[in-house]
Chains A and B, each alone.
Chain A
Amino acid sequence: MPARLVVFACGNRSRGDDALGPLLLDRAETWLDGQTSLDVRTVGDFQLHIEHALDLRGADLALFVDADADCPGSFRLRRAVASRDASYSTHALSPEAVLSVCRDITGGPPPPAFVLGVRGEVFDLGAPLSAAAAEHLEAAWGELESLLGDGRVEAWDRRIGAGPPPVAR
């Protein structure tokens, strides 16, 4: 039986490179249409909120996809561990905070989770996706496709650190 995977993608399509998450989710959903052997749920939103903790229930593995202003390369894959970080005091929770809420309200451990950050630089209202971000999108899609195709935690762990080299700012 395939791993039950939930993929979250965050961002605003009308704020430049903040659209990276939704655009990658569009591609993933199209790709998943032809993959009947996989068990993948997708969740898109502007930002992460407390109720997304409920979407983690029943999942074996979780992936958060988002634009990342601090990403050194085109994309960066990392582990996310439940953590009571400072995003609890805002309306936009971090992946770690969502995992923590899940743990606290369900009383059990959240599923193993990873974050795929994609480098973004321009976030102005009305701005289109930047040319650089369009390139990062292509690179990140290759990574996302690989992750979706092999939903094993150990396989995802092996991909951490094997991403692209830093991009000059």
Chain B
Amino acid sequence: MSRTLETATNPRTLRRVAIEPVTRVEGHGKVTLLLDEDNHVRQARLHIVEFRGFEKFIQGRPYWEVPVIVQRLCGICPVSHHLLAGKAMDMLVGARQLTPTAEKLRRLLHSGQMLQSHALHFFHLASPDLLFGFDSDAERRNLIGLIAAEPELALRGVLLRKFGQEVIRHITGKRVHGKAVLPGGMNKELTQSERDEMRRGIGEIIAWSRDAVALGRRLFESSAHSATFGVFPSNYLGLVAPDGESDLYDGVLRARDATGATIFDQVDYARYNRVIHEEVKPWTYMKFPFIVSLGEDDGWYRVGPLARMNISDRLGTPLAETERQAFRAAAGGGMQHATLAYHWARLIEMLHAAERIERLLDDPDILGTDLVTSGARALEGVGVLEAPRGTLFHHNKVDENDLVVKANLIVATTHNNQAMNESVRSVAARYLDGKELTEGLLNHIEVAIRAYDPCLSCATHALGRMPLLVELVDAGGVVIDRLRRGSTGACTSNAG
């Protein structure tokens, strides 16, 4: 796994193109391309302006506050952080085994989050590229273009997202800032009327999810890009049940290499730091995790929907499992390495989430009232789950006064950091090399990043604080063109 194009041999003589921030991803990221005089790509890097203050934000707080306050780290996946903070705190209160109702409510909450997140990403952010083409008219390549061309599809996307949000609201009591998860269990039981309301809609949600999977498969299999766009071998990591079935909420860590061979399996996630370390690079604040046994150069890996399809032995619901088998068959039964296959995999997971919601709603335990348990206290807690974007780690230590003294969070986007850089380099080398840059060509770079659904969010969105800036810098370091998009959407262009 080479790192060609990560660092140019003589960067000061090259022309620099910056795409900042990358659009249709969460938060802010920046891509820099260094081109020589013939427009050959000599260096390509994705810089993620990762905010590393969240561990400090948690330190000094009583542990029982953490599940509530971590929701405010990220406006995009607050439910994943809320759930996982509670799961990590379960260890502090000695609750390794929750009551059946509490565990099933958490799994239902997690499935709602998975459904709404995947629906938003595919229908709102990714499908315009896939339906209209990466270099199609930028004015059409968005949700509005989708609504105009495929109105029913667009509406279904909104309604799928809405249903997932409603699952979250019923369990947490609110769409956001809910207080559902407690160390050792859950805070609120589900009422029969809430359960029945969700039950009434789930059949349609499953049907629409099946249609979405069919669309995702068709788009992947019919695209000329699929076999070449961002296709490269990699390792894959994720959480699975001890028997190898997919489990997004709990299980053991498993990693497979590019051939499908097992790197490790059955690893207790509380010992994650024995198999994963993080590398620091001088050109970015973001860390690069790697598998210890493979080392820094070869140990990077991918997480998220593609990884989960590649490492799990089966999905636990019938419709989604049928689709998973088709997905694997498309790769000849081996590992699927196409970056664009993330979208197809994501839609299979959306169907899986919908089926799981139906199954959990039919389970009598879901209406139980025994919600909290506890056991022997501990001073250290680790939690891991599969968030929509990939594996998420929370690791906390508390003192005798129950205050958090140390926190470590590894989010999915950090796991995928090296892989996204590989995708950028792969696409830059194949599609941009030697050509004049156009918006459509630059969108190819963004399409590669967007496939990972990276969460770079700062969770702040106040009006006027979301500019888009693209700069073109010549070999002498002079800005020769600049395009800025303000909060109203108006673009202004000026030379430096």
**Cα–Cα distance between A61 and B489 once the two chains are bound (Å):** 24
Q: Scan B58-78; emit 1 where CB is below 8 A from any A CB, else 0.
A: 000000000001001101101
Inter-subunit contact B72/A51 (CB<8 Å): no
Inter-subunit contact B485/A123 (CB<8 Å): no
Inter-subunit contact B124/A50 (CB<8 Å): yes
Which residue of chain A has its CB nearest to the CB of B165? A51
Interface residues of B in 150-202 (CB under 8 A from A): 151, 154-155, 157-159, 161-162, 165, 174-177
Determine if B51 is an interface residue (Cβ-Cβ < 8 Å): yes
Inter-subunit contact A88/B459 (CB<8 Å): no
- 23 interchain pairs (CB within 8 A)? A15-B460, A44-B174, A45-B175, A45-B176, A46-B78, A47-B75, A49-B120, A50-B143, A68-B463, A84-B144, A85-B489, A86-B489, A86-B491, A88-B144, A91-B120, A92-B75, A96-B489, A101-B158, A104-B144, A105-B158, A123-B462, A123-B465, A124-B53
**Cα–Cα distance between A104 and B143 once the two chains are bound (Å):** 10
Selected from A15, A50, A70, A100, the residue in CB contact (under 8 A) with B463 is A70
Interface residues of A in 67-97 (CB under 8 A from B): 67-71, 83-92, 94, 96
Please judge, given known A-B contacts A46-B78, A88-B143, A89-B24, whether A125 and B54 are in contact too, CB under 8 Å: yes
| Chain B hits for A115, CB < 8 A | 463
Interface residues of A in 107-132 (CB under 8 A from B): 115, 117, 120, 123-126
| Chain A hits for B143, CB < 8 A | 50, 88, 101
Q: Which stretch from A6-14, A137-145, A150-158 is at the chain B interface? A: A6-14
From DSSP, what is the main secondary structure of chain B's interface residues? mixed
Selected from B54, B165, B459, B485, the residue in CB contact (under 8 A) with A46 is B459
| Chain B hits for A47, CB < 8 A | 75, 461
Q: Scan A15-29; emit 1 where CB is below 8 A from any B CB, else 0.
A: 101100010000000
Tell me how far the C-beta of B156 lies from the nearest C-beta in chain A, rounded to whole angstroms.
10
Determine if B487 is an interface residue (Cβ-Cβ < 8 Å): yes
Inter-subunit contact A86/B485 (CB<8 Å): yes
Determine if B142 is an interface residue (Cβ-Cβ < 8 Å): yes
**Cα–Cα distance between A14 and B58 once the two chains are bound (Å):** 12
Total A-B residue pairs with C-beta atoms closer than 8 Å?
135
| Chain B hits for A124, CB < 8 A | 53
Inter-subunit contact A12/B460 (CB<8 Å): yes
Task: Give how many A residues have a beta carbon under 8 Å from the other chain's beta carbons.
Answer: 48
**Cα–Cα distance between A15 and B157 once the two chains are bound (Å):** 30
Determine if B488 is an interface residue (Cβ-Cβ < 8 Å): yes
Inter-subunit contact A90/B466 (CB<8 Å): yes
| Chain B hits for A94, CB < 8 A | 463, 487-489
Selected from B53, B54, B177, B462, the residue in CB contact (under 8 A) with A66 is B462
**Cα–Cα distance between A68 and B455 once the two chains are bound (Å):** 23
Inter-subunit contact B489/A66 (CB<8 Å): no
Selected from B53, B154, B462, the residue in CB contact (under 8 A) with A67 is B462
Determine if A160 is an interface residue (Cβ-Cβ < 8 Å): no
Tell me how far the C-beta of B198 lies from the nearest C-beta in chain A, rounded to whole angstroms.
16
Which residue of chain B has its CB nearest to the CB of A44? B176
Q: Which of B69, B143, B177 has the most CB of A within 10 A?
A: B143
Interface residues of B in 259-291 (CB under 8 A from A): none
Which residue of chain B has its CB nearest to the CB of A66? B463
Tell me how far the C-beta of A48 lies from the nearest C-beta in chain B, rounded to whole angstroms.
8
| Chain A hits for B461, CB < 8 A | 10-11, 18, 46-47, 92
Inter-subunit contact A105/B154 (CB<8 Å): yes
Inter-subunit contact A51/B161 (CB<8 Å): yes
Other than A17-B462, A45-B175, A89-B142, give 14 A-B pairs with Cβ distance below 8 A.
A13-B177, A43-B175, A44-B177, A46-B459, A46-B461, A67-B462, A69-B464, A83-B489, A86-B491, A89-B125, A90-B466, A115-B463, A117-B463, A125-B57
| Chain A hits for B120, CB < 8 A | 49-50, 91
